[in-house]
Amino acid sequence: MTSLPETETLILEIQDGWLTISLNRPESRNALSDEMATELFAALSSVTNDRTIRGITLRGKNGIFCAGGDLKGFQKSLAGNFSFDDAKTMSQKAGELFALINSMPQVVIAMVEGAAIAGGLGMACCADFVVAVEDAKFSLTETMLGISPAQIAPFVIQRTGQMAARRLMLTGARFDGSEAHKLGIVDIVVKTAKEGNAAEQDIRKNVIRCAPGANAITKEIVRATAYMNTDAMIDFAADGFAKCMLGDEGREGILSFIEKRKPDWAQTNSLDEE
């Protein structure tokens, strides 16, 4: 049975093999405090190797996704004996969190309502799917505050490309969900939160049809294309294919196709009704 950590700033719910993580600091517009970042890292780490968890949805309570870093927390740090090494460590921990979201073996969906600002926007860019309400507000505000979007830059770039990311980062431009869709940050734009929830359910249904181990290996292969040369990529992809084909999922998937039935990973989930 999946064991989730106790959390104060997150609400964790599992239904039909799907983990929903709700950021729950509405008084600060779900800003990413040190405590929330630590809890989010722990929650994700607790299910990394759990193939009964088929996917993860990140969302915010009270109609807002995430307003970015906790600036009040930053101010408290600066008011104390906060050194260069302290600031560097803070940034590194944030980078580790974003990298973990990006590399989760499960499918990750970010549901954006209200706003995804700075680190909140970066967190969304780490997801496999981003669903956003068309009037949601997006912005990379770091440079307007005299800091840099250091750790989220690679994930924004993988969504938008380098030149668009430069424009967004160097101007602090504000844009809505429709424009975020044009930029490639958002995959599905909807008019209302209700429509967004329906879109999320559709994604879930499709994911449940896919084998969890095969999805995990596929995500590894996709990420590897960013840094491997051709020869290394051919070998890495072949290794992943062989693991899948000779594993239980590959054998079951091929047999179920021949026998004209659903594979075992798609049979018992209530989301898969077809």
Per-residue pLDDT of the chain in tens (274 residues, 90 and over written 9): 689 999 999 999 999 999 999 999 999 999 999 999 999 999 999 999 999 999 999 999 999 999 999 999 999 888 888 999 999 999 999 999 999 999 999 999 999 999 999 999 999 999 999 999 999 999 999 999 999 999 999 999 999 999 999 999 999 999 999 999 999 999 999 999 999 999 999 999 999 999 999 999 999 999 999 999 999 999 999 999 999 999 999 999 999 999 999 999 997 555 544 4
User: Are 250 and 198 found together in one domain?
Assistant: no
Shared domain for 127 and 241, answered yes or no, is no
Contacts of 161 (CB under 8 A, 6+ apart): 184
Strand ranges for 154-250 from DSSP E = 174-176, 188-190
The CATH code of the domain that includes 96 is 3.90.226.10
Dig out the tokens for 73 from the structure. Answer: 């927390």
Domain boundary among the residues 207, 226, 251 is at 207
Among 207, 231, 246, the domain boundary falls at 207
202 and 217 fall within a common domain: no
Q: Is residue 272 part of a domain?
A: no
Q: Of 184, 207, 230, which residue constitutes the final position of a domain?
A: 207
Q: Are residues 185 and 217 in the same domain?
A: no
Domain hosting residue 119, numbered range: 10-207
Q: Tell whether 228 is covered by a domain.
A: yes
Residue 134 near residue 107, CB atoms below 8 Å: no
Number of domains in the chain: 2
Return the SS3 of 153: helix
Q: Residue 236 falls within a domain, yes or no?
A: yes
In a domain, 158, yes or no: yes
Residues 130 and 258 in one domain: no
Q: Both 79 and 124 in a single domain?
A: yes
Based on the fold, state whether residues 123 and 49 are members of the same structural domain. yes
Indicate whether 200 and 216 sit together in one domain. no
Q: Amino acid identity, residue 98?
A: F
149 and 236 co-located in one domain: no
From CA 220, how far away is CA 240, in angstroms rounded? 9
Rounded-to-integer distance, Cα 48 and Cα 64, Å: 26
Q: Where are the beta strands (DSSP E) in the chain?
A: 10-15, 18-23, 55-60, 107-112, 115-117, 129-133, 137-139, 174-176, 188-190
Question: Does 216 share its domain with 198?
Answer: no
